[in-house]
């Protein structure tokens, strides 16, 4: 005759199931965390390479954390060539992760969309480097240019029927510029050594 179920047996069974599930989740995480991190690093390195001038260092190994953003200084022969800034803006469909590259003088060199949740065929067009907001932002310095959409009195044309996404993108660029200014203060542009003649006492 089968023994009747008891509350204790049910608790024990549920506990065992939870332990097994936890062990499986831990195993899956340990197996996948390496490949996931590697994929993310490749995505970051690709974005950096596309938004700053030529460099010979490994910017992702020199990352600076400023607030919720990351800054990747690019250098060549020891001199700063640009700064790649990773920021997160809020798009129409959710977070808009982007990388914005600046020249040492503060002009936007290029931009890259890392991830987004925008509407296909509309806001998702922001991934196209030739789309108006991304094409028109190049060379603009947020310090001197009005980098808002023309509907708001700015210099940049919005994506047709996707003004919210366009605003989110431009807000991201503005956010990145503020982070860039902080990073530049930490990693100033190196000036070439003076070539003027000096006397034996080191006086000009």
Return the domain boundaries, the chain. Answer: 48-186
49 class by beta-carbon count within 10 Å (0-12 exposed, 13-18 middle, 19+ buried): middle
Q: Is the pLDDT of residue 35 over 80?
A: no
pLDDT higher for 1 or 63? 63
- How confident is the prediction for the chain on average, in pLDDT? 88
Task: Give just the sign of the alpha carbon dihedral 152, 154, 160, 163.
Answer: negative
Instruction: Record the pTM.
Output: 0.77
Q: Is the pLDDT of residue 198 over 90?
A: no
The per-residue pLDDT for range 143-158, each reduced to its tens digit, is 999 999 999 999 999 9
Q: Which is nearest to 82 in space by CA: 122, 50, 118?
A: 50
Considering the chain, what percentage of its residues have pLDDT values greater than 90? 69
């Amino acid at each position: 005759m089968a023994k009747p179920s008891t509350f204790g047996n049910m608790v024990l069974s549920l506990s065992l199931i939870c332990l097994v599930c936890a062990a499986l989740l831990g195993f899956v995480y340990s197996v996948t965390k390496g490949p996931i991190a590697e994929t993310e690093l490749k995505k970051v390195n690709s974005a950096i390479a596309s938004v700053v001038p030529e460099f010979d260092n490994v910017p992702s190994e020199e990352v600076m954390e400023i607030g919720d953003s990351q800054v990747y200084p690019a250098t060549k022969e020891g001199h700063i060539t640009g700064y790649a800034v990773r920021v997160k803006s809020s798009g129409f469909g959710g977070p808009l992760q982007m990388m914005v590259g600046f020249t040492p003088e503060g002009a936007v060199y290029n931009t890259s969309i890392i991830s987004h949740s925008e509407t296909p065929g509309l806001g998702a067009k922001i991934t196209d480097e030739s789309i108006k907001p991304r094409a028109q932002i190049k060379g603009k310095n947020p310090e001197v240019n009005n980098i808002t959409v023309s509907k708001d009195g700015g210099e940049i044309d919005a994506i047709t029927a996707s003004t919210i996404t366009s605003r989110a993108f431009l807000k991201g660029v503005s956010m990145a510029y503020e982070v860039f200014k902080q990073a530049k203060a930490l990693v100033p542009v190196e000036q070439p050594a003076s070539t003027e003649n000096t006397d034996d006492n080191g006086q000009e």
